A and B are shown apart, each in its own frame.
Chain A
Amino acid sequence: SQTIHQWPATLVQPVGSPLSLECTVEGTSNPNLYWYRQAAGRGLQLLFYSVGIGQISSEVPQNLSASRPQDRQFILSSKKLLLSDSGFYLCAWTDRGHYSNQPQHFGDGTRLSIL
């Protein structure tokens, strides 16, 4: 069966420090991968998605970047964190395919607090 792992679960970082969050998927090949942020309140904001190695699409301009160095690995990074980067970060995957009835599957999230 497919699984998705995110780490770390919780992270406290000072303003101006770098960031690296990692997400890996097991049990599938060539997935579409996604990074979301859930800020204060409950809404989800899509940050990046990737349809293949080295292919990254950004949804919103921001202080963050994403990379996909391997097929099932997705990394969210920042060179200098801002207070506004605080939030709950979620990684998700879905099967590559031509049918729209496939859901996205989410990791357990990383709670990021910027001090």
Chain B
Amino acid sequence: GDSVTQMEGPVTLSEEAFLTINCTYTATGYPSLFWYVQYPGEGLQLLLKATKADDKGSNKGFEATYRKETTSFHLEKGSVQVSDSAVYFCALRRLSGGSNYKLTFGKGTLLTVNP
């Protein structure tokens, strides 16, 4: 079945450091890929997405490129801020059949940014 593997956290960085959170996936066909962010005590918010190979999703300074050859969708940001502290989830979506679409999530990576 489909699966998403994220790097184990927690990740602790200083403000203005470079961020990479690795995400690799296993799926048949051509899934769409997403990064979600969850701030403490809140629901998940869509951060960015990519729908086909070599697509680059970007939002709020975060970027991720859909690499089909390496089945990866790594999240990057050039300079993190304290306000980026959150849990980040990588996810994929593949048509399961009919209209019942499901997302497969990674386990999440906790990011803490210190001033």
| Residues on A facing B (Cβ under 8 Å) | 6, 32, 41-44, 46, 49, 51, 57, 90, 92, 94, 96-98, 100-109, 111
Contacts and interface: CB of A to CB of B under 8 A. Distances in A.
A42 B51 contact: no
Given A32-B100, A51-B99, A51-B100, A42 B43 contact: no
Nearest to A50: B100
Interface residues of B, number: 29
A107 B43 contact: yes
A103 B101 contact: no
B98 A103 contact: no
Interface in B32-53: 32, 34, 36, 38, 41-46, 49, 51
A90 B38 CA distance: 12
Contacts of A32: 99-101
B44 A102 contact: no
Given A43-B105, A100-B94, A101-B32, A108 B43 contact: yes
23 contacts: A32-B101, A41-B108, A42-B110, A43-B107, A44-B105, A44-B108, A46-B102, A46-B103, A49-B100, A51-B98, A57-B100, A94-B101, A98-B99, A100-B31, A100-B51, A100-B95, A101-B32, A101-B49, A102-B101, A103-B32, A103-B49, A109-B41, A109-B42
Interface of B: 30-32, 34, 36, 38, 41-46, 49, 51, 87, 89, 93-95, 98-103, 105, 107-108, 110
B26 to A, nearest CB: 16
A97 B34 contact: no
Nearest to A97: B99
Contacts of B31: 100
Contacts of B110: 42
Contacts of A102: 32, 93, 101
A103 B99 contact: no
Nearest to B42: A108
B32 A100 contact: yes
Contacts of A94: 101
Contacts of B107: 41-43
